[in-house]
Amino acid sequence: MQITVKDLNFTYSARTPFERHALKGVNLTINEGDFLGIIGHTGSGKSTFIMHLNGLYKLQSGEIDVFDVKLVPDKKNKSDLRRLRGTVGMVFQYPEYQLFEDTVEKDVAFGPKNMGLDAEEVQRRVKRAIELVGLDYEDIKDRAPFELSGGQKRRVAIAGIIAMQPKVLILDEPTAGLDPYGKEQILSLITHLKEECSPTVIVISHDVDEITRFASRIVVFNDGKVMFDLPMNELFRHAEELHAVGLEIPRAVRIAEKLKKRGVELEGDIVSLNDLLHAVVVAYNKKHIDETVDENVNFSAFEFDLNGSACGGKKEDDR
């Protein structure tokens, strides 16, 4: 099963003074089980692209095939779109703004109800979705969404998508506006959901340091085109090109480069801060074993992991 996008073009406000060519011949294949990160600055076309994946924009030109649901321009097929929206779950930016029901349970039930499922199945799915996002079903189901904290609201909004059991989960800036702790919780939740519920996950993020923590493959959008489509560890070898289009590189990559310029070469691919820590320790051990054998500290005995700090992830699920 795959998502294939062929020669996708999209123009906003065509034939008006505000015409803007947002996607220019995008080709991309996303495989089942991918953990894909999409980066690109504001206006690069990344959001326009993902909106196409569950049929929120009418296809203007090109072809899209999402797990055997085929979309072509000028073909009206309501049942295809329905199937597509059941396959691809989309969590927008600030999804908590979309909560509207008077209880959490009703809000989460909205999606599955609209899919035409029977009441029993809806209730089962709602319970499971709420539990999957790490909330206590009995405790929260009758509460009003508006009295919850920001992080809880976002979880409820995500549960509303999960309740439809999408095979593909797309999240647009899932941690925007949260405090460091809230960010960590959402990041570990996404990993958890990939394992438990939606095996294919696509995340859009501005924060490259964040994306290095989970994505295995990264697509870079620039000016409506796919600029790079590479495994994480290869992407940041193109640091200068990324910089030229106004994208940041992860802090660990930057520090490793600075060290290299000063004559300190670290071993291995360094993308995340954990990579950097490990490489520093390896280099330190090498040098200091040579110099002071007796006083050598066995650094390998330390478990280095930045997870759990503000710039790392939380390893144990504390949901």
Beta bridge partners of 5: 28, 64
- Applying CB under 8 A, which part among 59-67, 108-116, 210-218, 277-285 lies near another protein? 277-285
Site for another protein in 203-242 (CB under 8 A): 206-207, 209
Site for another protein in 85-114 (CB under 8 A): none
Contact pick of 3, 187, 273, 313 for another protein (by CB under 8 A): 273
How far, in Å, CA of 201 to CA of 17, rounded? 37
Cβ at position 298, least distance to another protein in Å:
10
Residue 144 binds another protein, judged by CB under 8 A: no
Residue 287 binds another protein, judged by CB under 8 A: yes
Residue 315 binds another protein, judged by CB under 8 A: no
Residue 293 binds another protein, judged by CB under 8 A: no
Cβ at position 242, least distance to another protein in Å:
12
Site for another protein in 33-52 (CB under 8 A): 41-43
How far, in Å, CA of 139 to CA of 144, rounded? 12
Contact pick of 14, 119, 264, 289 for another protein (by CB under 8 A): 264
- Applying CB under 8 A, which part among 100-108, 112-120, 157-165, 177-185 lies near another protein? 177-185
How far, in Å, CA of 194 to CA of 205, rounded? 17
SS3 145: helix
Pick the closer one to another protein by CB: 120 or 295: 295
Contact pick of 177, 196, 216, 244 for another protein (by CB under 8 A): 177
Residue 277 binds another protein, judged by CB under 8 A: yes
**What 8-state DSSP symbol labels residue 307?**
B
Query: Which has the closest alpha carbon to 219: 247, 177, 192, 261?
Result: 247
Cβ at position 251, least distance to another protein in Å:
6
**What 8-state DSSP symbol labels residue 32?**
T
- Applying CB under 8 A, which part among 79-87, 155-163, 226-234, 261-269 lies near another protein? 261-269
Q: Under a CB-based contact definition with an 8 Å cutoff, are residues 313 and 213 in contact?
A: yes
Residue 179 binds another protein, judged by CB under 8 A: yes
The C-alpha angle with vertex 245 and arms to 280 and 249, in degrees rounded to 5, equals 15
Q: Under a CB-based contact definition with an 8 Å cutoff, are residues 214 and 221 in contact?
A: no
- Rounded to the nearest 10°, the torsion over CA 235, 241, 244, 246 is -10
How far, in Å, CA of 256 to CA of 209, rounded? 14
Query: Which has the closest alpha carbon to 198: 134, 129, 96?
Result: 129
Residues in the interface with another protein (CB under 8 A) total: 44
Amino acid making up residue 172: D
Q: Under a CB-based contact definition with an 8 Å cutoff, are residues 238 and 220 in contact?
A: no
**What 8-state DSSP symbol labels residue 165?**
-
- Applying CB under 8 A, which part among 65-73, 79-87, 110-118, 258-266 lies near another protein? 258-266
Residue 271 binds another protein, judged by CB under 8 A: no
Q: Under a CB-based contact definition with an 8 Å cutoff, are residues 267 and 282 in contact?
A: yes
The residues of the shown chain that bind another protein, judged by CB under 8 A, are: 18, 41-43, 149-151, 176-182, 206-207, 209, 246, 248, 251, 254-255, 258-259, 262-264, 273, 276-277, 280-281, 283-284, 287, 297, 299, 302, 304, 306, 309-312
